[in-house]
Amino acid sequence: MEASKLPVFKARLHEIRTSLVGDVEKVIKSSQKDMSAPAPDITDGAAQAYNLQLMLELGEQDWQKLKKVDDALSKIKNGSYGTCSECEQPIPEARLEVVPFAEYCVNCMNEIENEAQSNP
């Protein structure tokens, strides 16, 4: 990858990170508020529990994305950004424009997804 393009990707990763950190904080505050509110009946309690579980799962997805963003920022620092973690070939710039925290090239990602689907 051209060194002149790294600042653009770095800025984009920082924007994503800032957004995710804000979203995670909102989920935490919301879940704390929901847990402190008493449920008037068992149906409301079930709905509250379902909503909390959904928020926590979304939080986990955001957490995983945040870890990938942090990994990508570390790769920029150590000079390995834009290299597939599996085959060590360059990740196409078009893929990084869509998913700037991509860890794998398209071919390796397809293989990983196919393997995961065949081994549930």
**HEC states along 53-117?**
HHHHHHHHHHHHHHHHHHHHHHHHHHCCCCECCCCCCECCHHHHHHCCCCCCCHHHHHHHHHHHH
CA distance 74 to 18: 16
pLDDT for 64: 86
pLDDT in tens, the chain (120 residues): 778 899 999 999 999 988 887 765 666 666 555 555 555 566 667 777 766 665 666 577 888 888 899 999 999 999 999 999 999 999 999 999 999 999 999 999 999 999 989 876
CA distance 14 to 11: 5
Question: What domains are there in the chain, each with its CATH number?
Answer: 3-118 (1.20.120.910)
Closest CA to 24 of 91, 69, 90: 69
Cβ neighbours, 10 Å, residue 82: 23
Single-letter residue type at 92:
P
